[in-house]
Amino acid sequence: MREIVWDTETTGIMPGDGHRIVEIGAIELHGRVATGRSFHTYIDPCRMMPKDAEGVHGLTTAFLTGQPVFEAVIDDFLAFIADAPLVAHNAAFDMEFLNWELRRARMPVIPTHRMVCTLELSRKKHPGAKHTLDALCNRYGIDLSARSKHGALIDAELLARVYVELVGGRQIGFDLAPTAAAEATIVVDRAYRAPRAHAASADELARHAAFIAGLTDPVWLS
């Protein structure tokens, strides 16, 4: 199954307050194994970057000015995700921003049933634990050394590894069935054994009948 693990960076926490998406990063999985295909873009929000948001992801107004606007990149992003499920950490946040931008561009929104939220998965699997991306990476031994600040693509790459752990671990997608050659070897090396007889012998049946006859007030006759 094809899935997309994705993340956004924004100018703030509420699109209704005029905040915008400034970065999108996405990773393609097939059978929960990364294919090497990814999508990444910066976006000019056409507004100033608040200092508190800049402190989170390091993206400045000067850097983002002149980057493509949302309407210039959205077609490529929609083509990349196609109809795949969309995996994100606190997925409602990213989806709210994406759909706000789509409405602003007068484009159809993405239905929320396509969301897979790793925050919710973590809360169910590890109740009472910390559920930040950093905490989950530490829990599963995932290297965080390349992440000095939040970034949509690096966070999507880390989340893809966390997601595989949350839904079953690193062996998902591995073919554990024996190959045809291995099966042939097993057949050749294994000595033939006749099937065991599973029916009771006449002596065993007689002893069982005597045992039953000696029971007093058995429950199946009450």
**Checking DSSP bridges between strand 86-88 and strand 115-117, what pairing results, if any?**
parallel
Instruction: Strands of 57-209 (E only): list them.
Output: 86-88, 115-117
Report the C-alpha gap between 62 and 172 in whole angstroms. 43
Q: Which of 19, 131, 150, 198 is catalytic?
A: 150
- Maximum distance among all Cα pairs of the chain, rounded to whole angstroms: 94
Report the C-alpha gap between 191 and 216 in whole angstroms. 49
User: Among this protein's residues, is 150 annotated catalytic?
Assistant: yes
Report the C-alpha gap between 157 and 32 in whole angstroms. 12
β-strand partners of 30: 2, 33
**Residues with active-site annotation:** 150
